[in-house]
């Protein structure tokens, strides 16, 4: 098993811990391994996720899977990710794979998930969101949290787009 696979398995285990701790979303989870943090809080009708620190591809994937799983288990169809305090240097190919896998995972969940991501280049480029949209997941990037919240609350955008890819 490769080192990357071992890291991914470790992060999936952490996702389960996040889920268990998120049963009370008023309690923010602690640092995963000292390099990044994920804070979760249930707002009125969406899950707020605040990510900070340096995120690798595998950490970002585990972060999105855990957010989607937790939001779905809480009956929330919207997620606001604030990544303004995040760092990272994923390649464009990793961003594309991230968008594809997040959209595919979302399709396995019973609720429609809409994801708004707040951040700035070079960390948040919009490549992953564009790929996720191509796979049918309503996902957008924003530079401002207010714009993201407005997009999330727009009920006309609740229906997922028809996927371009099978």
pLDDT tens across 132-163, in order? 999 999 999 999 999 999 999 986 544 444 44
For residue range 93-102, list pLDDT tens digits in order: 999 999 999 9
Percent of the chain exceeding pLDDT 90 equals 48
Just give the CATH number of 3-156: 3.30.750.24
Report the candidate in 136, 152, 67, 46 with the shortest Cα–Cα distance to residue 99.
136
The low-confidence residues of the chain, meaning pLDDT below 70, are 1, 5-6, 8-35, 112, 155-166
Q: Which of 76, 62, 64, 70 is nearest to 6 (CA)?
A: 62
Share of the chain above pLDDT 70, in %: 73
For the chain, the structural domain boundaries read: 3-156
Q: Give the Cα-Cα-Cα angle 134, 55, 19 (nearest 5 degrees).
A: 80
What pLDDT was estimated at residue 156? 55
Q: How far is CA 87 from CA 44, 77, 99, in A?
A: 28, 27, 18
For residue 165, what are the CA distances in angstroms to 100, 104, 137, 141?
10, 11, 11, 21
């Amino acid at each position: 098993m490769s080192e990357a696979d071992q890291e991914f398995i470790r992060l999936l285990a952490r996702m389960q811990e996040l889920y268990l701790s998120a049963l009370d979303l008023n309690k923010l989870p602690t640092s995963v391994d000292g390099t990044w943090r994920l804070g979760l809080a249930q707002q009125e009708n969406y899950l707020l996720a605040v990510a900070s620190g340096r995120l690798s591809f595998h950490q970002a994937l585990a972060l999105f899977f855990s957010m989607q799983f937790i939001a779905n288990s809480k009956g929330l169809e919207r997620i606001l990710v604030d990544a303004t305090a995040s760092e990272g240097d994923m390649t464009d190919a990793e961003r594309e794979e991230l968008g594809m896998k997040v959209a595919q995972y979302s399709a396995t969940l019973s609720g429609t998930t809409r994801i708004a991501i707040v951040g700035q280049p070079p960390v948040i480029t919009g490549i992953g969101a564009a790929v996720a949209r191509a796979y049918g997941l309503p996902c957008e990037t924003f530079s401002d949290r207010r714009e993201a919240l407005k997009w999330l609350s727009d009920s006309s955008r609740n229906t997922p787009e028809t996927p371009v890819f099978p």
